[in-house]
Amino acid sequence: MCGRFLMGATLEELLKRYKIQEDVEKEFKYGEIFPNDTSIVVVRDKQNFLKNMKWGFINPYNNRPIINARSETVYQKSMFKDSFNKRRCLIPVTAFYEWKKEHKTSVKYEIKIANKNIFSLAGIYISYKDNKNQTYTVFTILTTSPSKPIEDIHGRMPVIINEEFEEEWLSNKDTNFEFTKSLMKPYQDSLLIKQADSHNDLRLF
């Protein structure tokens, strides 16, 4: 599970990092992002651009948002497969959080990539209509099995897309299916892991 992440980059840093020419979104949430929050997402339509989206697909069975999708089955599940084929996105983060069960408590860990201020989590998105017939867009984060440094903390981790493959991930047309699947694997490069300052419980899960 990826239950929270940190967006600590400025708009200028995001525009430069993702080679975006027009800053369509002027404002976005800065700091720790929770499920149901709106966060900045990178999508592509001829060129990259930023879009604010709400975190969590609509769950048809209860009010809990679906904030993660398993990479092993995302291209098979009816709720996700169309988005996987046509609407892939990148979620820029400066860190993500995982919780380790220790006795009767859960200890929060902050996880970053060494020498990278901003990195990209793999996501998919979809648009819905609200009860006023207004369109809004949501995303979910893809997860995979944990890499060695994380497996002692949690049984899953978000899919991190290496910078060199970000354009391929965003290119939702004429993409090699097997190659796209191959990008959804545990991250193998260096990670910086430290115990976070707070021990907030995951209130929704």
Q: What is the pLDDT of residue 174?
A: 55
Structure tokens belonging to residue 152:
């002692």
Q: What is the pLDDT of residue 153?
A: 93
- Domains of the chain in start order, with CATH, are 4-195 (3.90.1680.10)
Q: If you search the block for the tokens 């990670």, which residue do you land on?
A: 191
**Consecutive sets of 10 residues in the chain, 205 residues long: mean pLDDT of each?**
91 93 80 96 91 94 92 95 95 96 88 94 94 92 94 94 95 78 92 79 36
Under a CB-based contact definition with an 8 Å cutoff, are residues 173 and 91 in contact?
no
Around Cβ 143, how many Cβ atoms within 10 Å? 24
Q: What share of the chain is helix, strand, coil (3-state, %, to 5)?
A: 15, 40, 45
What H or E segment, with its residue span, contains residue 12?
A: helix 11-17
Contacts of 89 (CB under 8 A, 6+ apart): 41, 42, 43, 53, 123, 124, 125, 139, 170
Q: What is the pLDDT of residue 204?
A: 31
The single-letter code of the amino acid at 4 is: R
Q: What is the pLDDT of residue 111?
A: 96
Q: What is the pLDDT of residue 175?
A: 64
Q: What is the pLDDT of residue 77?
A: 95
pTM over 0.95: no
